[in-house]
Chains A and B, each alone.
Chain A
């Protein structure tokens, strides 16, 4: 019975989406939000329906309702883990890593030797599985959040560096010549022309880094952590087969990741409003 209900919701949502996408409202903002939301609700309904109908055991896949209950019931635990992993480990590492990458990028841009020497290495390092340094950082900085932040710093550094160096050379010769005719110093050119011109590239790197930061912070907890943290909680809860709690942590991680990414994207829109990719929305 529930399965048919779920299938009904699925088909109805699909039908509404198909009509909306073809209708004349298709370009409007609320429709662009409504369609993916409906799609998500339909997936949840189908999930719930299948799990209830076929009585799937909770150790395999808990129903969304059970996960919701686990979220409400474990709010204090979820909050403590969130603070430990996302705010202390992830965010502080992200800020340090991104800031130092921007500074090094300015340095690389200033010194041609570094540009030819360091950039290929940076490009290669950006493709390396840097998560691997997690055990080393845990050995160096101990079990608490400092080691997680250190992993995040290194993971975030290279993508931001590579993008920022590309961004600093984005302003064209004509514009730089114009600054020169105005007698602008290196620093004036940097702050008034080249840094603003580099922003679209910087945000590209920051967006990539936002996802990496969370991965780094959670992975590092596999190599030793205090008895809080999302990675720690997930691995112990899997061991106890407390699957609703695991899925609750996953939901929080997903939410935190999306909000984090959304904040970076919002900052991008505010800073680079002049860029073609941001206009016409």
Chain B
């Protein structure tokens, strides 16, 4: 029910905006026309690549299911273990707080403290759909630069957390 209302509200925004735009054109209200000019440009920009991005993301999802990667968590250590958590994070979607339950699963499966925090770092900045959006909107150079700088930093955060929490009885609570 709440969901339904939220959906409705979103349509209401769009409807009000279109109404205001129609009004602006009918009465020659220039600011309204200018805003519509901006909007059209953004809208075209969006429809020219986002549907295609989601085709790629959808195909990725069926060919590289996260469950497959999840199986290997906790068994591998060293570089391989780090790579596995990063790949797993890249296959996810959604906001960071959606990663906490997964962090709990990783913890239960015996992943190291370091890898749990590397997972959170990779989750927040290397998810494939988000990288696609980033390339589309900010360009491949920006995306590459940000990714290449971020990667060593959140791996460092992982190592720091492990060093700091090593004998501190670290645990993740189940919700």
Asked if A and B bind, the verdict is no
